[in-house]
Every structure is written in structure tokens, then in C-alpha cells.
């Protein structure tokens, strides 16, 4: 294991040998077998169902993890999963989730699905991937996940088997006695076979694969995107890209004695690749606290104590979690902590400084995305961290900043903002998404993935993300980067997070508006925030038309502000006001995502309606609408 301090160090690593010549795992099972051979009885992954620092936890050694994965892979193959067949899982974090992720990629193609999605979204992903097997939870108190998955499977005809994971075994008395008495009835609304994951695995050998392991590079995972629209896209990941992420972690960041606490979900690439794959490549130990990670009960209150319990050396986090964590005192011995990794969204400078002051260690900020099998760049752990940047591109990762014009693509100059485009071993050239039409116009010059992120490279090669191309607010042809508004509002001492979007406008198409979440315990009025915006947003066109305080901004499972929900709120507010002002007896009941039309407002009438009058009012806006019949 080595670290790096400058771009020259990374170039030296890249010059050692071509990536294609590296022999670090011919298959996912081979990759894991090498970890077993090197680290056997050392701890691999640990999980605790509840967040208390003295609560029951369970640990798998590398020997144990390898055995469990081999068993599960054999089970999946017995259920008809071949190289090109799909095992989906809709699970919170637990040991079985990690086993399923790895075993699914050994037997066929694994498809992690966010448990927070609605049944229709889960069903749409299952249909898109043609999943044959689904692994999910057995009915358990305080979760509706089994009910949601049952409803989804009813609309996914390819699913033949549902394997259930029972969290009961992680409990201790008296809770372990009580749960069977209050456990909800198992939902059954589909024709798929329902079996116990643990019982079925036990029927298969754990010391060998019962089928020939595929040692050629192939697609081994389907990860759906968080997306800027309501219906996720599905990205394809090859074994080489998955292993590449692990190799980077072992080569640059982790060693076998490291202990990494990861309260992020295993359906997301951040936890699955930079963390889990890096553990396999390095032999380090990952700790997953509670099924919901940071969302779990008591996790923020107990996190420092969990760092002390496990003697954690690295914390994995996101800006929203850091903000919550920094509102709590460091009430434990965290002297083992050597660093923290933050991703998923830009890190405010103030959070970086507050964390360093509280813990004595610095946050390492990086950049990755689902379409690249995750990792792209990172700030040097041992060198100059440029706060506000996402660091230097990793070895074998080539980042270009391109501007598209009528003649093709032009390379941007130093510090010139353009679209971030990437080629690396994690990019599946030409076929990033499972839906063929989603790959149209996705690559520049045939191999550089167009990320849709706006950014720049400085003179020393550091990458800065300045915005999201699809998030641009287009006010009468004037492009406004929402980051201008968000960064200004974040400067207010009472503002914890800000999300700026374009709200519909009959004249300009869009007008800027911003939603804010306040620091815990803070109180501030809209008038004060609007005044602050006038004083601190220097681009006149970017001045928000509307400022609104929410108790909490909608966020994805990894802490990004979920802007589709903010857009829905804005559409409802603007359309309702326009209908009210026109005296029409209509109101927006919901805003739904349509694959072809985008966000569509659903209208309900409380009296007779003249369709032409509605068209005259709402036809001025770009977002579509439907009147309920």
C-alpha cells in the first residue's frame, strides 16, 4: 500500500505497467480468493443491528466471507442464474447484503436496488434488468420493505424466486423473543417461490464453486443511478471496473490493518466499490453500523463511540451526514482516526474546517459516479488538498473538460468551465446503460463518457466541479449555475444546506428559486434570507425569485439534495397560483415522472372546467399537465 502527495506520484504509478497487464483478479471469485489466501483469519466485515457501542455485533473473517459467498453463488446458479442472468437485491445493510453483492457477481449479474424506492420504481428496475431472483427482507417490525418488494415482484414476471433474509438472528433477548410475536404477516401477492436465504445457502458447498468460474471480463453488476429524474437509469459494470476500484483503494489508500466504518448503503457504488472492493484488495476491515447506516436510530449520537469501540482509522461520510455529526460533541476517544472520506456532493469549506478542528484529522474529498463504476479523482491524502476541488484523477483515469459546439468537441483551457468527460477502466465504452437509447450521444470522441457535470481543471491538474449541466437554470436563454445561489446561501450562519432550482415561469421559462434547511435549533425568517441573498448573490439574473425554508431538504440515500422533489414542489406552487389567479377550479394533486414528457402535473377539478381556459393559463409553462377525468 502506498499513498500519494502530488500528480507526479500518480503518473509514476501509471507508468509502472499498462492497466490491462495487471493480474489482480481474473474474476470476482478469484479476487476474493486472493484476499482469503492473504488474510484468512483476519476480520473482513462486521455488522451491528443497533447503534449502541456495546450492542451485539457479528464479524466475518476473510475465510468466513469467502465461504458464505461461495455458498450463495452456488445457490444462485442452482436457481438458474447463468453469466447473463440477474440476481437483484432490495436490502438494507447487513452481512447478507455484502454476501449477495459478491455472490451475485460471481454467479451472474448482481443488481442492487435502493430499498427507499417506491414499488413501481422497484418493479421498473426488475423488468429492465429481467431479474430472475430477488433477495430481500423477511417481514420484520418497523419496515414495510417486504410489502413493497412483494408488490413490485407482482409486476416483474421474470422473477421466479424470492429469497428472504431474516434480521432476527442479529437480536438478543428480550427483543429476539418479542419479534416473532409481533412480526407482520409475510406478504404474498405474486407467484414467485419464497424461500429462506440462509436455509437455502446451507444446502450448498462452501469450499468450492459447483460451476466453472468465468475468468473472462464480463458485465457482473447493474447499478441504477440516483438520477435527476424520477425513474432511474441502469448502468452496467464489468468485473475489470469493479476490481479497478478495489486496486485503487489498496494501492493508494488502505492497508490490511485499517478499520473503516461505513454507514453508507450497499446499494450505492460508494459503499460497494471504493469501500467493499478496496477491503478485498487490501485486506482491511469494514464496519457497517445498523441496516440504515446514517439513517439508523442513534447512529449520529453514537458514532464517535463506535469509532472508539472498533478503533476506526477511516470514516466514510457525505456532507449531509457531516453536518449532522458536527452538531454533536466528540464524546469518545477517536485517537485511532487517521482520516475521513467524503463524496456524493460538494463539501462546504466550513464543514471541512469544523471536522478538522473537532477530530484533528482532515477530510479527503473525492469524485465518482455510477456510470464510471465510481472512482474518478481524490485529493491527495499526504499532499496538498485543495478544498473545494475533488482532487487529482486516479492512475489510468483520463479527465478532459470539453465544450460542445456545432463542429464537435473543443478542449477547454486551464480553469475554463466545460463538461467533465472521463475514460478509465470503469467506463463501459459505448454501452454504459442497459437501455440502448440512453447511450445515444453519451460519449465524446467514442470513449470519453460525458458525465453531465460541469467543471474545470486548474494549472496543477486538480479537478473542480462547478455544477450539473442538467441542473442549469435557464432564465430567458441566460444559463445560471445553481451553485452560485447555493454557495451564497450557505454563507448564512443559520443555513445548513441549500438547493437551488429553476421554477416554471410564463415569461422567462425558468426563474431561480432556492430551498434551505437550517442548522439545528436556528431560526431565521424568509425576509432576512432574501435580504442576505440580495447582498451576496452578485449575478443579477441569479437572484432567487422565491426563498423557502424546509424542515429538511429531500435527499438521496447518500446525502445529495434530491432536486426532482424540489422541482415538484415548485411546479405545484406556481401552477396552483396561476390557476387560482385565473379563477379556475383546479389544483395540482401530484407531479409525476413520465419517461417521455418529464415531470407532469396532475390536476383535479372541484367544478366545471373549460379545457381551453386551462390551456391558456398553463400553456405558458414548459412542464406538462393532465386533467383527471
pLDDT in tens, 230-246: 467 899 999 999 999 99
Q: Where along the chain do its domains lie?
A: 7-455, 472-561, 570-627
- The grid cell for 39 is 488474510
Q: Whose CA is closest to 46, among 259, 279, 288?
A: 288
pLDDT in tens, 593-615: 876 567 899 999 999 999 989 98
Residues, the chain, total?
629
How far apart are the C-alpha atoms of 78 and 193, rounded to whole Å?
14
Strands 624-627 and 398-405: unpaired
Q: Which residue has the higher pLDDT, 178 or 483?
A: 178
Superfamily of domain 7-455: ANL, N-terminal domain (3.40.50.12780)
pLDDT at 231: 64
Domains 7-455 and 472-561 share a fold: no
DSSP state of 262: -
Residues above pLDDT 70, as percent of the chain: 96
Write phi, then psi, for 74 (nearest 5 degrees): -65, -40
Q: Whose CA is closest to 501, among 470, 476, 529?
A: 470
For the chain, the average pLDDT equals 91
Check whether 541 has a pLDDT greater than 90: no
Helix extents (H) in 202-348: 239-248, 269-270, 278-282, 299-310, 319-325
pLDDT in tens, 255-312: 999 999 999 999 999 999 999 999 999 999 999 999 999 989 999 999 999 999 999 9
Candidate CATH numbers 3.60.150.10, 3.30.300.30, 3.20.20.70, 3.40.50.300; the one for domain 472-561: 3.30.300.30
Q: Whose CA is closest to 108, among 92, 89, 90, 95?
A: 89
pTM attached to this predicted model = 0.81
User: Degrees (nearest 5) of the Cα angle 326, 328, 334?
Assistant: 80
Strands 478-480 and 495-505: unpaired
- When pLDDT is averaged across residues 610-628 and rounded to a whole number, the result is 86
Q: Whose CA is closest to 107, among 186, 194, 204, 177?
A: 204
Check whether 229 has a pLDDT greater than 50: no
pLDDT at 227: 41
How far apart are the C-alpha atoms of 270 and 325, rounded to whole Å?
19
How far apart are the C-alpha atoms of 33 and 20, rounded to whole Å?
20
Which residues lie across from 405 on neighbouring strands? 408
Strands 624-627 and 598-605: parallel
Please report which confidence band the pLDDT of residue 453 belongs to, taking 50, 70 and 90 as the band edges.
Answer: confident
How far apart are the C-alpha atoms of 589 and 603, rounded to whole Å?
6
| H or E element at residue 62 | helix 62-78
pLDDT at 278: 97
pLDDT in tens, 462-520: 998 876 667 778 786 566 878 889 989 999 999 999 999 999 987 777 899 999 999 99
Write phi, then psi, for 325 (nearest 5 degrees): -65, -35
Angle of the 62-78 helix axis to the 95-107 helix axis, nearest 10: 50
Q: Whose CA is closest to 1, among 265, 314, 230, 242?
A: 314
Angle of the 239-248 helix axis to the 28-39 helix axis, nearest 10: 30
For residue 140, cis peptide bond before it (omega within 30 degrees of 0):
no
Which residues lie across from 235 on neighbouring strands? 223, 433
| H or E element at residue 16 | helix 7-16
How far apart are the C-alpha atoms of 7 and 29, rounded to whole Å?
33
Q: Are 140 and 148 in contact (CB under 8 A)?
A: no
pLDDT in tens, 401-431: 998 877 789 999 999 989 999 999 999 988 8
Strands 363-369 and 418-423: unpaired
Distance from the Cα of residue 564 to its chain's centroid: 15
Q: Are 453 and 420 in contact (CB under 8 A)?
A: yes
3-state secondary structure of 546: strand
pLDDT at 377: 95
pLDDT at 496: 93
Amino acid at each position: 500500500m502506498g499513498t500519494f502527495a502530488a500528480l507526479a506520484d500518480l503518473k509514476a504509478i501509471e507508468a509502472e505497467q499498462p492497466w490491462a497487464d495487471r493480474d489482480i483478479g481474473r474474476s470476482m471469485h478469484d479476487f476474493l480468493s486472493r484476499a482469503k489466501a492473504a488474510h484468512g483469519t483476519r476480520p473482513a466485515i462486521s455488522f451491528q443491528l443497533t447503534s449502541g457501542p456495546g450492542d451485539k455485533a457479528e464479524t466475518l473473517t476473510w475465510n468466513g466471507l469467502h465461504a458464505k459467498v461461495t455458498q450463495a453463488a452456488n445457490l444462485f446458479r442452482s436457481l438458474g442464474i447463468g453469466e447473463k442472468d440477474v440476481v437483484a437485491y432490495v436490502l438494507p445493510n447487513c452481512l447478507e447484503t455484502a454476501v449477495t453483492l459478491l455472490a451475485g457477481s460471481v454467479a451472474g449479474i448482481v443488481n442492487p436496488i435502493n430499498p427507499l424506492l417506491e414499488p413501481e420504481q422497484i418493479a421498473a428496475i426488475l423488468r429492465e434488468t429481467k431479474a430472475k431472483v430477488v433477495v430481500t427482507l423477511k417481514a420484520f417490525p418497523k419496515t414495510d420493505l417486504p410489502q413493497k418488494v412483494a408488490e413490485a415482484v407482482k409486476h416483474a414476471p421474470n422473477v421466479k424466486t424470492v429469497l428472504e433474509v431474516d434480521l432476527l438472528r442479529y437480536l438478543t433477548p428480550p427483543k429476539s423473543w418479542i419479534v416473532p410475536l409481533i412480526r407482520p404477516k409475510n406478504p404474498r401477492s405474486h407467484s414467485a417461490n419464497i424461500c429462506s436465504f440462509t436455509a437455502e445457502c446451507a444446502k450448498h458447498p462452501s469450499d468450492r464453486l459447483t460451476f466453472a468460474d468465468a475468468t473472462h471480463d464480463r458485465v457482473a453488476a447493474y447499478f441504477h443511478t440516483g438520477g435527476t429524474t424520477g425513474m432511474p437509469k441502469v448502468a452496467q459494470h464489468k468485473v475489470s471496473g469493479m476490481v479497478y476500484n478495489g486496486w485503487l483503494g489498496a494501492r493508494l489508500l488502505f492497508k490490511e490493518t485499517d478499520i473503516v466504518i461505513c454507514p453508507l448503503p450497499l446499494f450505492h457504488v460508494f459503499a460497494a466499490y471504493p469501500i467493499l472492493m478496496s477491503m478485498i484488495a487490501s485486506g482491511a476491515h469494514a464496519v457497517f453500523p445498523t441496516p440504515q447506516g446514517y439513517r439508523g436510530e442513534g447512529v449520529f449520537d453514537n458514532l464517535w463511540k463506535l469509532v472508539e469501540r472498533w478503533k476506526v482509522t477511516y470514516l466514510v461520510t457525505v456532507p449531509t451526514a457531516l453536518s449532522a455529526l458536527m452538531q454533536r460533541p466528540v464524546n469518545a476517544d477517536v485517537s485511532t482516526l487517521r482520516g475521513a472520506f467524503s463524496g456524493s456532493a460538494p463539501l462546504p469549506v466550513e464543514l471541512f474546517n469544523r471536522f478538522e478542528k473537532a477530530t484533528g484529522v482532515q477530510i479527503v474529498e473525492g469524485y465518482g459516479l455510477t456510470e464510471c463504476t465510481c472512482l474518478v479523482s481524490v485529493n491527495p491524502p499526504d499532499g496538498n488538498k485543495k478544498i473545494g476541488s475533488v482532487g487529482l484523477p486516479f492512475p489510468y483515469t483520463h479527465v478532459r473538460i470539453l465544450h460542445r459546439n456545432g463542429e464537435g468537441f473543443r478542449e477547454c483551457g486551464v480553469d475554463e468551465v466545460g463538461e467533465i468527460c472521463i475514460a478509465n477502466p470503469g467506463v463501459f465504452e459505448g454501452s454504459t446503460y442497459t437501455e440502448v437509447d440512453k447511450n445515444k450521444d453519451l460519449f465524446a470522441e467514442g470513449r470519453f463518457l460525458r458525465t453531465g457535470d460541469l467543471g474545470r481543471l486548474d494549472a496543477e491538474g486538480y479537478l473542480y466541479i462547478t455544477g450539473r449541466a442538467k441542473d442549469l437554470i435557464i432564465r430567458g436563454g441566460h444559463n445560471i449555475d445553481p451553485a452560485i445561489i447555493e454557495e451564497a446561501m450557505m454563507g448564512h450562519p443559520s443555513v445548513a444546506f441549500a438547493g437551488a432550482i429553476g421554477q416554471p415561469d410564463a415569461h422567462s421559462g425558468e426563474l431561480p428559486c432556492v430551498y434551505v434547511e437550517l442548522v439545528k435549533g436556528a431560526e431565521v425568517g424568509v425576509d432576512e434570507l432574501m435580504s442576505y441573498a440580495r447582498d451576496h448573490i452578485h449575478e443579477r439574473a441569479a437572484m432567487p425569485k422565491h426563498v423557502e425554508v424546509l424542515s429538511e431538504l429531500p435527499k438521496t440515500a447518500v446525502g445529495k439534495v434530491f432536486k426532482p422533489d424540489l422541482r415538484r414542489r415548485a411546479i405545484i406552487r406556481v401552477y396552483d397560483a396561476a390557476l387560482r389567479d385565473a379563477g379556475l377550479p383546479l389544483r395540482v394533486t401530484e407531479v409525476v415522472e413520465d419517461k417521455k414528457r418529464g415531470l407532469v402535473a396532475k390536476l383535479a377539478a372541484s367544478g366545471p372546467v373549460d379545457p381551453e381556459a386551462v390551456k391558456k393559463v398553463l400553456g405558458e409553462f414548459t412542464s406538462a399537465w393532465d386533467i383527471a377525468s
